[in-house]
Amino acid sequence: MNRNSFLIVGGLLAVLAFGAALAVYGDLPAKVPVHWNGSGQVDSYGPRWHTLAVMPGIMLMVLGLTAALPWLSPRRFEVNGKNNAYLQIMLVVLVFLAYIHFLTLAAALGRAVEMRAMVIGAVCAMFAAIGLPLARVRRNFYVGVRTPWTLANDRVWEATHRFAAKTFVAGGLVGLVLAFLVSAPWAPFVAIAAAGLAPVIHSLVFYKQLERRGEV
């Protein structure tokens, strides 16, 4: 996937999200649910025009940010690098946003939606999907495990991201299972938090090992 194909696919997702909201707009109530608590109960409502503007607008902003970050990147820290890992990660984010949009539309139309499990499960699935291309992300200031130690040394960055790719996939999959099997909403987040923290610790430990050997 190159930049142009990403923008086309991402743009189509945003248009599809807007078009779906427009198609059912007349069937929506004047107030639609916009937020759910940890128990999956609606705790906030907003005007139905939110379905047209909020999530499709956020998706367009993500598209613009994705296009802008390579230009904003300093030399030798280009976010795009020589592969498409960055674009794959951003596409995962866009798919996640589109999924949440359609889930919210379904709830607004009165469909029975297990919002807590569906949203938390989607977060965990996104976490796992981001892990798949994570090992190929080159050193940059915007995407990846950006600690002082990974940014200071290419070897630390590359080793940490190979490790993070495994922990993200494992943590995301464990969290996805827990989202549907465990009633406590915090359990899946413990799994992905541990998966996210482990690479941070790895980067510090590996950097200090190189430092003791005089290799940094």
* Furthest CA-CA distance within the chain: 68
What pLDDT is attached to residue 81?
59
Q: What is the pLDDT of residues 19-73, one digit of tens each?
A: 999 999 999 999 999 888 877 788 889 999 999 999 999 999 999 999 899 899 9
Q: Cβ-count burial of 20 within 10 angstroms (0-12 exposed, 13-18 middle, 19+ buried)?
A: middle
Locate 195 and state its tokens.
Answer: 């998966």
DSSP the chain: --HHHHHHHHHHHHHHHHHHHHHHGGGS-SEEEEEE-TTS-EEEEEETTHHHHHHHHHHHHHHHHHHHHHHHSPTT--SSTTSSHHHHHHHHHHHHHHHHHHHHHHHHTT----HHHHHHHHHHHHHHHHHHHHTTPPS-SSSS---HHHHH-HHHHHHHHHHHHHHHHHHHHHHHHHHHH-S-THHHHHHHHHHHHHHHHHHHHHHHHHHHTT--
What pLDDT is attached to residue 80?
73
- Given a cut of 70, the residues of the chain with pLDDT beneath it are 81-83
Locate 207 and state its tokens.
Answer: 């950097």
Locate 1 and state its tokens.
Answer: 């996937």
What pLDDT is attached to residue 93?
96
d(CA 148, CA 21): 43
Helix 3-24 to helix 50-72 angle (10° resolution) is 170
Query: What is the phi/psi pair of residue 142, to 5°?
Result: -120, -35
What pLDDT is attached to residue 166?
97
